[in-house]
């Protein structure tokens, strides 16, 4: 059978979004949703994946879409080992991802977009994804994923729910990030660096240092009403330490550190914005399920993934065995 050409990549995530995820995954995180993930996904999410992978036969070829640092792929591998079988797992992401600690069943690929996959037709028996598919350009990514699916391929996706707790937390975290970025902390820190570098008088140094200390106190007060107080405290601690060693480290190094901290907060804000743009309401999730049914050609259902307390985590779209 002639292999169809992959569809050109004009995906839903732009280069700015991929840069933001590069910043995140470079620290070796597994899951992407803070309190809803931690080192990996919480039990309510992980157990759903384990149950799914327990139903797959030995030798299943699995494609993990927008894998991040491979939380779902690693659950698949762990489940296979527990069952005494092997899976062949291909895990890709548009961002640069960390591959340390991966097992022999997983092959990671960075800078691969779901809209233009580098795999032949009918390469996979199973296609899965956690908080990733919804970030893609679905008009292009869904046909591509169907192209690389073998006949009878099973699918399971979990997407962000616009009405869910993860997205609600993201909205509040974004408010915190904006307050930190728009506040006086970073400008005040740069004024201190410039004053030291320019050999300002003692009175001048005291003035800009007082302004910086006032900015720190303002951020400390803001953190008391924040969903993410560590973001404020970490930024203040890193900047204060950098300023304290300017004479030894040099002004350029300190300014670079200020820029790096600010860039990290901006990347955080971009990830949160991307999540809220990508999140699906129930109607959109059901429409996605119907499109998957048409493309893959077998029974598929959509349901709600929930925490133990009943809060909505996301929409689960899964085909039967």
pLDDT averaged over the chain?
88
Indicate the SS3 state at residue 68.
coil
Alpha helices, DSSP H only, in the chain?
A: 15-25, 43-53, 71-83, 138-147, 165-182, 185-197, 202-223, 229-244, 246-249, 251-278, 282-296
Decide: 235 and 265 in contact? Cβ < 8 Å: yes
Tell me the mean pLDDT in the region 279-298: 96
Tell me the mean pLDDT in the region 239-260: 95
C-alpha 138: how far from chain center? 18
Q: How do residues 80-109 score in pLDDT, each as one tens digit?
A: 999 999 999 999 999 888 765 556 899 999
Q: Which two tokens stand for residue 161?
A: 């729910």
Instruction: At 153, give phi and psi (nearest 5°).
Output: -55, 130
Residue 43, pLDDT above cutoff 90:
no
pLDDT above 90 coverage of the chain, percent: 78
Q: Which residue in 306, 287, 209, 272 sits closest to 20, CA to CA?
A: 272
Q: How do residues 189-218 score in pLDDT, each as one tens digit?
A: 999 999 999 999 999 999 999 999 999 999
Q: Which two tokens stand for residue 315?
A: 């929409």
Q: Which residue in 188, 195, 296, 172 sits closest to 235, CA to CA?
A: 188
Q: How do residues 173-192 score in pLDDT, each as one tens digit?
A: 999 999 999 999 999 999 99
Note the pLDDT of residue 273: 93
pTM of the shown model: 0.83
Look at phi and psi of residue 66 and say left if phi exceeds 0, alpha if psi is from -120 to 50, else beta: left
Note the pLDDT of residue 5: 33
Residue 317, pLDDT above cutoff 80:
yes
Residue scoring higher pLDDT (66 or 10): 66
- The Cα-based distances of 72 to 48, 53, 92, 149, 196 in angstroms read 11, 10, 12, 18, 49
Note the pLDDT of residue 120: 98
Sign of the alpha-carbon torsion through 293, 296, 298, 304: negative
């Amino acid at each position: 059978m002639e292999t169809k050409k992959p569809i050109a990549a004009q995906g839903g995530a732009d280069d700015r979004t991929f840069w933001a995820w590069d910043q995140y995954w470079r620290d070796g995180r597994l899951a992407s949703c803070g309190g809803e993930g931690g080192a990996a996904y919480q039990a309510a999410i992980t157990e759903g994946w384990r149950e799914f992978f327990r139903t797959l036969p030995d030798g299943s070829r699995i494609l993990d879409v927008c894998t991040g640092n491979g939380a779902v792929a690693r659950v698949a591998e762990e489940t296979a080992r527990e069952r005494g079988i092997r899976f062949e797992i291909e895990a890709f992401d548009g961002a640069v991802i960390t591959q340390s600690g991966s097992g022999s069943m997983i092959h990671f690929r960075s800078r691969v977009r779901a809209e233009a996959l580098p795999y032949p037709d009918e390469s996979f028996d199973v296609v899965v994804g956690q908080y990733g598919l919804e970030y893609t350009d679905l008009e292009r990514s869904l046909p591509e994923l169907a192209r690389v699916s073998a006949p009878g391929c099973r699918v399971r996706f979990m997407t962000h729910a616009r009405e869910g707790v993860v997205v609600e937390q993201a909205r509040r975290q974004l408010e915190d990030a904006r307050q930190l970025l728009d506040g006086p902390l970073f400008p005040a820190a740069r004024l201190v660096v410039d004053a030291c570098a320019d050999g300002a008088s003692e009175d001048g140094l005291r003035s800009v240092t007082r302004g910086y200390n006032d900015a720190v106190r303002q951020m400390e007060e803001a953190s008391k009403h924040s969903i993410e107080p560590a973001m404020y405290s970490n930024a203040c601690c890193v900047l204060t330490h950098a300023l304290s060693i300017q004479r030894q480290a040099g002004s350029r190094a300190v300014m670079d550190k200020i820029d790096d901290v600010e860039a990290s907060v901006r990347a955080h804000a971009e990830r949160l914005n991307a999540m809220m743009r990508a999140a699906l309401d129930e109607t959109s999730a059901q429409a996605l399920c119907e499109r998957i049914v048409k493309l893959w050609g077998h029974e598929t259902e959509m349901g709600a993934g929930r925490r133990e307390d009943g809060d909505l985590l996301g929409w689960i779209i899964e085909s039967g065995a």
